[in-house]
Amino acid sequence: MTATIIRRAALVTGGVHLLFGLVVMSAWAFRLSALLQFESWRAPEQFNSALAFALCGLAMGLIEWQPPAFHPTARLLALLATLLGAATIGEYLFQVNLGIDEVFASAYLRTATSHPGRMSPQTAIGVMLLGAALIAVTFRRWKVAAAFGSIAATLGGIAIAGYMVGLESAYGWHGLTAMSLQSATGVTILATAIVLLGFVDDAAETRDLAPRWTPIVMGFLSLGTMFVFWHLAMTVLMLWGGTATANGSRAAFAVAMLVGLLTTALAQIGLVATRHRRRAEAAHARLQRAIEELSRAQTAVRELETLLPLCAWCKRIRSDERDYWMKVEDYIGRLTNREITHGLCPDCAKELMADLDEAVQ
């Protein structure tokens, strides 16, 4: 039941992302600024990021709607989104303009944007990871898909947390184009859907409570959470200034890393313990079934031992030794270890005497 709900939710998520991408692209085409930025001083949702979301959403829909008939098509769409994100990251890293930022629409909104029409580096990394995760899903490489998906979900979650607490460094890096709230939400939701889809499908294939790669997801999520707390701590420590800020930065970062690693280790320990417990329960159940079968067999043997095969015609008894039939006196003699003597009972004697008298007359 839960697996069916998650698969349907993944299909709906793909459809929503496709619709979101189409709406944003239409808003750029018709210059509907209200659909591109919620507040005039926030970064708008870029055309290329909307295109990447539409590609990823359509790929997700094809994977869940018609598996595996449309997997090659879904793989191609996810690859296009991955290449678009990778090209944008390359533009930032090498400080070049590949001409892909305004190839589809003119960037007339440039608020909180370092390069007109260019998606933020966080969004580019997010769509690149989403595309790679969807490609891994088509090949049923759930561990790879979960790793990419959890990183993307962490990246988007950090940006959302930054918007919630007013931490600009969580969604904007060093004066570059800021990640919009729409992009952060889209990356987080789609990445979460991929991870949950991996949970139900991989667990169904391995017949285990949780996949082996669960600690990877837990580790990235905990590291992302600690990263947000680290940024919050740094914001407070900035009031102290100087050496105190530097020391506080190192301490906060060390605590964040330690908590993240500890969460990963605890998740791994819990997963291994749960797996061993389930195996022990399965072995105990098999042992109980074997005991019940043996008990039924013993009962059947005892019932058979109480039966004595007797010929209805000659009155011989069948022995267990090679289907040998023996006289009653021989069987009783062997069973009781006594010698059998013959005589006549009074009734038989009377009947015999009557027969003899009749024969004489």
Q: Would the pLDDT of 243 be above 60?
A: no
Q: HSE on the CB side for 288, CA within 13 Å?
A: 6
% of the chain at pLDDT higher than 70: 80
Structure tokens at 312: 């209805």
Q: Residue 317 carries which DSSP code? A: E
Q: Would the pLDDT of 5 be above 80?
A: yes
pLDDT in tens, 147-189: 899 889 888 988 888 888 777 877 888 789 989 999 999 999 9
pLDDT in tens, 215-231: 677 777 766 666 666 66
One-letter identity of residue 119: M
User: pLDDT at position 355, please?
Assistant: 76
Calculate the dihedral angle through the C-alpha atoms of 124, 126, 127, 129, rounding to the nearest 10 degrees: 120
User: pLDDT at position 169, please?
Assistant: 76
Contact present, 171 and 178 (Cβ < 8 Å): yes
Cβ within 8 Å of residue 207, ≥6 positions away: none
Separation between Cα atoms, residue 170 and residue 112, nearest integer Å = 14
Domain residue limits, the chain: 2-207, 214-307, 317-360
**336: Cα separation from own chain's centroid:** 69
Structure confidence at residue 244 as a pLDDT band (50, 70, 90): very low
User: pLDDT at position 359, please?
Assistant: 75
Q: Would the pLDDT of 233 be above 70?
A: no
pLDDT in tens, 125-138: 999 999 999 999 99
pLDDT in tens, 285-299: 999 999 988 888 887
Q: Work out the average pLDDT over 194-219.
A: 71
Compare 157 and 262 and report the one with higher pLDDT: 157
Structure confidence at residue 90 as a pLDDT band (50, 70, 90): very high
Q: What is the pTM of this model?
A: 0.69
